Chains A and B, each alone.
Chain A
Amino acid sequence: MSAPAPTAPPAAPPTATRVLEFADVARQFPDGTVALEGVDLTIDRGEFVTVVGPSGCGKSTLLRIASGLDAASAGSARVDAERIGYVFQDATLLPWRSVKKNVELLAELHGMSRTATNQAALDAIELVGLRGHEKKLPRALSGGMKMRASLARSLTLDPDLFLFDEPFGALDEITRERLNDELIRLFVAKGFGALFITHSVSEAVYMSTRVLVMSGRPGRIVESFDVPFGSDRTPELRFTPEFAKLAGEVSHALREGHS
């Protein structure tokens, strides 16, 4: 499926696993603000790409264009993913639906059969570790559990491309780190392509196969770092010299781009 790009008819993807391809994407808002400029970005399945940048640098706009909620005003933004998962900053659970019913929502919207929906929801709930909480209403959940439910909701679609808009920004550090590990586990198991927005350098380096640094006004990608760590990441990784070195470089690039 092709994202609402102004150009490029949906042609065969360059490689079988390419899920997102941005070429010279720009976004200018009607008030004249240039949120994005000259963004080139590709993501394949099995790649976890994180974008770090200061607030208001256009990170979210990038994600909105990738999801189709917004459209590029120039350049080509192609998404070759059958199904896209989008995890918002808020869990956006419907307060009147139980955890199970919330997790079933997207499958319902996509017209999956009753039994398939039910099975997909049960599997996703199992995957994010919410078994036993199916009947609870969102108000009875902690912030971390809400995020898990939100994650499970997208997982029911088995997306090829997963978009994350600072999903763990509002959580405490312990919960956040635990969810980082769980997300890595899901990523390794499912092999989707991921575009993850954060303003935490540590989270970016820990989660990703590639870290992109953005600068604001206009939003541009100023630097790209390949992350050399394998998929067997444990919390101790955060305290290794290699991790500190890379995080330092990313931080440096952030400051450079900011000044």
Chain B
Amino acid sequence: MTATLETPTTTPVAAGTTPAPVVRRRRGRRAVNLVLPVAVFAALLGVWYAITYLVLDPGRRFLMPAPHTLVTDALLDPTITDKVWPALGRSIVVTFTGLAIAIVIGMLWAIAMSQSKAVESSLYPYAVALQCIPILALVPLIGFWFGFGFPSRVIVCVMIALFPIVSNTLFGIQSVDRGHHELFTLHKAGRTTRLLKLQLPAALPAIFAGFRISAGLSVVGAIVGDLFFKQGEPGLGILLSNFSSRLQGAPLFFTIVVTAALGFAVFFLFGWLSKLVVGSWYDQSRDR
């Protein structure tokens, strides 16, 4: 299958990971880099058609509807798109609300830990716990406490998206060059000055790497929250669940593609933002 939600989660999320550098290839390799993925995509489409028309009985083709039917039976069908587009809008709102809250909490958390060893040793285990406890196990509890509406969905997003922001921000702040620290020490810079003029700017590449990972996770959170809290205004998760239970293959696949596109979009949005903010001075390519 081609379109799934895998993109955002494949980036490793671990304490102390370096901001994953996006290797900018040299011009000579660029053509190859474009041709090969397209060729693979074409091959996958071919396999998909083969399965639809050669493997499946006509009666069971809803399991894997041919790629073009995603357009004919979903994208061009107003009864479907009238459900999908509003659901996409609601999921986007949940994703970005959750992400925004995770960014604020995560950065404050990391900054607090960076300023004191005592705070770090008392709070870091909880950041790790957040990462280790399967959030899915807490989802029913969240519903139990906060109901099945918008707040609960946002809380799920926040919990899923929080850790990479905490760990990347902390890692970035702690990786500041020793010579730079000595320069600030030598000139008697205070804590706040050091944070604002040295630590945070130096940590920005790592912080943005965290944002990018968390943005993808936040999409996952929005879908998961939706799938679980099957009440209220439907987001993409509820649609996915509804289409699959009604055996509506093409709309289901179409919604999956839309969900995947949302994942890609937020991932690249933050990649672009990162480039905009730190691209001028932070060399993301290692091989230059």
CA distance in complex: A106, B185 (Å): 11
By the criterion CB–CB under 8 Å, are A139 and B281 in contact? Answer: yes
- Smallest beta-carbon distance B237→chain A, Å: 40
Q: Which of B190-237 contact A (CB under 8 A)?
A: 193, 197-198, 201-202, 204
Is B184 part of the contact surface with A, judged by Cβ < 8 Å? Answer: yes
B283 in contact with A88 (CB, 8 Å): no
**A106 to B182, alpha carbons, bound, how many Å?**
12
Interface pair B180/A69, CB less than 8 Å apart: no
Q: How large is the interface on B (under 10, 10 to 19, 20 to 34, 35 or more residues)?
A: 20 to 34
- Interface: A24 (CB within 8 A): no
Q: In the complex, A137 Cα to B282 Cα: how many Å?
A: 10
Report the minimal beta-carbon distance from A98 to chain B, rounded to whole angstroms.
9
By size class, the interface of chain A is: 10 to 19
Partner of A109, one of B193, B281, B282: B193
CB pair A110–B183 under 8 Å, yes or no, is no
Tell me the bound Cα distance from A90 to B179 in angstroms: 8
CA distance A11 to B187 in the complex (A): 22
Not counting A137-B280, A139-B281, a sample of 11 additional A-B residue pairs whose C-beta atoms are within 8 angstroms of each other reads A86-B186, A88-B182, A94-B180, A95-B281, A96-B280, A96-B281, A96-B282, A105-B183, A106-B187, A109-B187, A138-B281
Contact A109 B189 (CB under 8 A): yes
Contact A139 B186, beta carbon cutoff 8 Å: no
- Complex formed: what's the CA distance from A92 to B186 in Å? 13
CA distance A111 to B255 in the complex (A): 57
Q: A94-B201, A96-B281 are in contact. Are A69 and B185 (CB under 8 A)?
A: yes
Does B281 contact A69, Cβ atoms closer than 8 Å? no
| Residues 80-112 (chain A) with a chain B CB within 8 angstroms | 84, 86, 88, 90, 92, 94-96, 105-106, 108-110
| A54 is an interface residue with CB less than 8 A from chain B | no
Q: Which residues of chain B from 156 to 190 have any CB-CB distance to chain A below 8 Å in the complex?
A: 177, 179-180, 182-189
User: CB of A38 within 8 A of chain B?
Assistant: no
- List 28 interface pairs A-B (beta carbons < 8 Å), by A numbering: A67-B186, A68-B186, A69-B182, A69-B185, A69-B186, A86-B183, A88-B182, A88-B183, A92-B177, A92-B179, A92-B180, A92-B183, A94-B180, A95-B281, A95-B282, A96-B202, A96-B204, A96-B280, A96-B281, A96-B282, A105-B183, A106-B187, A108-B197, A109-B184, A109-B188, A109-B189, A138-B281, A139-B283
- Consensus secondary structure, chain B interface: helix
For residue A137, which residues in chain B have a CB less than 8 angstroms away from its CB?
280-281
Could you list which residues of chain B lie within 8 angstroms of chain A, going by C-beta atoms?
A: 177, 179-180, 182-189, 193, 197-198, 201-202, 204, 278, 280-283
Chain B residues whose CB sits within 8 angstroms of the CB of A106 once the complex forms:
187
User: CA A137 – CA B278 in complex, angstroms?
Assistant: 12
Give chain B nearest CB distance to A136 CB in angstroms: 11
Task: Give every chain A residue within 8 A of B283 (Cβ-Cβ).
Answer: 139
Give the chain B neighbours of A105 by CB distance below 8 A: 183, 197
Query: Which residues of A lie under 8 Å from residue B189 when comparing CB positions?
Result: 109
> With the chains together, A178 CA to B182 CA distance in Å?
27
Smallest beta-carbon distance B182→chain A, Å:
6
In the complex, which residues 172-225 of chain A have their Cβ closer than 8 Å to any Cβ of chain B? none
CA distance A137 to B281 in the complex (A): 7
B287–chain A nearest beta-carbon distance, Å:
15
Chain B residues whose CB sits within 8 angstroms of the CB of A88 once the complex forms: 179, 182-183
Closest A residue to B177 using CB positions: A92
> Which A residues touch B278, using CB under 8 A?
96
Q: In whole angstroms, how far apart are the Cα atoms of A200 and B204 in the complex?
A: 39
For the complex, give the distance between the alpha carbons of A138 and B281 in Å: 8
| Chain A contacts with B in 129-164, Cβ cutoff 8 A | 137-139
B204 proximity list for chain A (CB < 8 A):
96
